[in-house]
Amino acid sequence: MRFRLMDNLIVLRSPIKIYRVPRTLTWGLTNLCADNKFVIFLDYDNVEYNVCKEDVKMLQDDFNVGTFITRTSSIKNYREDEIGNYHCIGFVKYYFDEVRKLIAKTRCDDHFKRGYIYQQRCWVLRVGEGLQFDPKHGWLVVKPFTVLREVIKQKHDGRQKESNQALINFFEDLDGINLKKHFKKIDNLLEPEIIRFGGS
């Protein structure tokens, strides 16, 4: 397993501001792949679910970004207008400048658009309080922060770029779903980029 330990991660933006050192640590999954390419991560707080879904469908229609999954920490009744917190995760790989421009085209949180982890230049979504790999059962998450909401499918038309097997495997293990059937070009990279960092 490849991960970076980043305890008490703090970014000071002004000499007059004081930031509290987080007391808890959390595990996060980054969108950085082992070949130095990136998948699309989107983070939405306090929005209607249809905002996320419309953004993903726009990216699929206009940029052929492939199948996404959506995850939520606040699911109640699965209504399209349900206000909550959502993660949208893509699996097709892009160069850094490409993925940054694609994220910027959405209505995801502004701080997330510019809020990639400074040291690694990648975006991070929190996964859970604990994380381990079991050879029999794959990835196991202790107290996950989100649950699967939906698979937003896009038929592969042969024009999509290569997808990342490590992240596909991770979410297949976590959610018990078959994602590979949605992708034709999948790399042979098996280790997701995981970090442990301070959380509030």
* Residue 99 structure tokens: 């993925």
Pure H helices in the chain: 49-63, 96-104, 110-113, 165-175
What is the pLDDT, as a whole number, of residue 121? 80
pLDDT per residue as tens, the chain (200 positions): 444 444 444 333 334 444 444 456 788 899 999 999 999 999 999 999 999 999 999 999 999 999 999 999 876 767 888 899 999 999 999 999 999 999 999 999 998 988 666 567 889 998 888 877 778 777 778 888 899 999 999 987 777 899 999 999 999 988 999 999 999 999 999 989 888 876 55
CA dist 193 and 28 (Å) reads 9
What is the pLDDT, as a whole number, of residue 198? 67
What is the pLDDT, as a whole number, of residue 22? 47
**What letters, b where the CB count within 10 A reaches 16 and e where it falls short, cover 38-73?**
bbbbbbbeebbbebbbebbeebbeebebbbbbbbbe
* Cβ proximity of 196 and 9 under 8 Å: no
Report the predicted TM-score, pTM, of the whole model to 2 decimal places.
0.83
* Cβ proximity of 132 and 161 under 8 Å: no
Place of tokens 């990648």: 122
Q: Where are the domains of the chain?
A: 2-6+21-199
